[in-house]
Amino acid sequence: MTTLERLFSLETVGIKLGLENIRSLTAALGHPERACPSVHVAGTNGKGSVSAMVERALRAQGYRTGLYTSPHLDRVEERIAINGIPIAPEPFDACARDVLALVDALRADGRLPASPTFFEATTAMAFEAFRRAGVQTAVVEVGLGGRYDATNVVEPAASAITSIDLDHERHLGRTLAAIAAEKAGIAKRGVPLVVGSLPPEAREVVRAAADAAGAPMVDAARFIHRFELSGGVATVWGAIRAGSFGPVRLGLRGGHQVANAAVATALVDTLDARGLPVGVDSLVAGLSDVCWPGRLEWLTTRQGVLLIDAAHNPAGTAALASYLIDAGVAPLPVALAVMEDKDLTGMVGPLVPVASRFVATEARSARALPADTLAARLVALVPGVSVDLEPDPLRAAARAMAHGRGVAAGSIYFTGPLRARLIEAGARSI
| pLDDT surpasses 60 at 267 | yes
Whole-prediction pTM: 0.96
Q: Look at residues 298, 207, 221 and name the one whose alpha carbon lies nearest to residue 263.
A: 221
Residue 390 DSSP class: -
CATH architecture of the domain formed by 297-429: Alpha-Beta Complex (3.90)
> Helix 20-28 to helix 89-108 angle, to the nearest 10 degrees?
110
| CA separation, residue 97 to residues 23, 91, 134, 189 (Å) | 19, 10, 20, 35
| pLDDT surpasses 90 at 172 | no
Q: Is the dihedral of CA 273, 275, 280, 282 positive or negative?
A: negative
Q: Do domains 3-288 and 297-429 have the same CATH topology?
A: no
Are the C-beta atoms of residues 26 and 127 closer than 8 Å to each other? Answer: yes
- Averaged confidence pLDDT in the chain: 95
Are the C-beta atoms of residues 352 and 321 closer than 8 Å to each other? Answer: no
Which residues are paired to 80 by β-bridges? 68
Helix/strand/coil for 109: coil
Domain boundaries along the sequence of the chain: 3-288, 297-429
Q: Look at residues 149, 130, 128 and name the one whose alpha carbon lies nearest to residue 139.
A: 130
pLDDT (0 to 100) of residue 292? 96
Q: How many CB atoms are closer than 10 A to CB 276? A: 18
Return the CATH class of domain 3-288: alpha beta
pLDDT (0 to 100) of residue 228? 98
Beta strand ranges found along 11-84 (DSSP E)? 38-42, 65-68, 80-82
d(CA 200, CA 134): 41
Mean pLDDT, to the nearest integer, of 270-290?
97
Which residues are paired to 355 by β-bridges? 332
pLDDT (tens digit per residue) in 352-408? 999 999 999 999 888 899 999 999 999 999 998 999 999 999 999 999 999 999 999
pLDDT (0 to 100) of residue 1? 82
Q: Give the largest Cα separation in the chain, rounded.
A: 62
> At residue 50, what are phi and psi to the nearest 5 degrees?
-65, -45
pLDDT (tens digit per residue) in 283-304? 999 999 999 999 999 999 999 9
Which residues are paired to 39 by β-bridges? 139, 158
In single-letter form, the type of residue at position 293 comes to P
The C-alpha angle with vertex 247 and arms to 241 and 248, in degrees rounded to 5, equals: 80
Q: How many CB atoms are closer than 10 A to CB 14? A: 9
Residues 6+ apart with CB under 8 A from 379: 387
Are the C-beta atoms of residues 371 and 393 closer than 8 Å to each other? Answer: no
Are the C-beta atoms of residues 50 and 157 closer than 8 Å to each other? Answer: no
Q: SS3 breakdown of the chain: % helix, strand, coil, rounded to 5?
A: 45, 20, 35
pLDDT (tens digit per residue) in 126-158? 999 999 999 999 999 999 889 999 999 999 999
Is residue 12 very low, low, confident or very high in pLDDT (cuts 50, 70, 90)? confident
pLDDT (0 to 100) of residue 367? 86
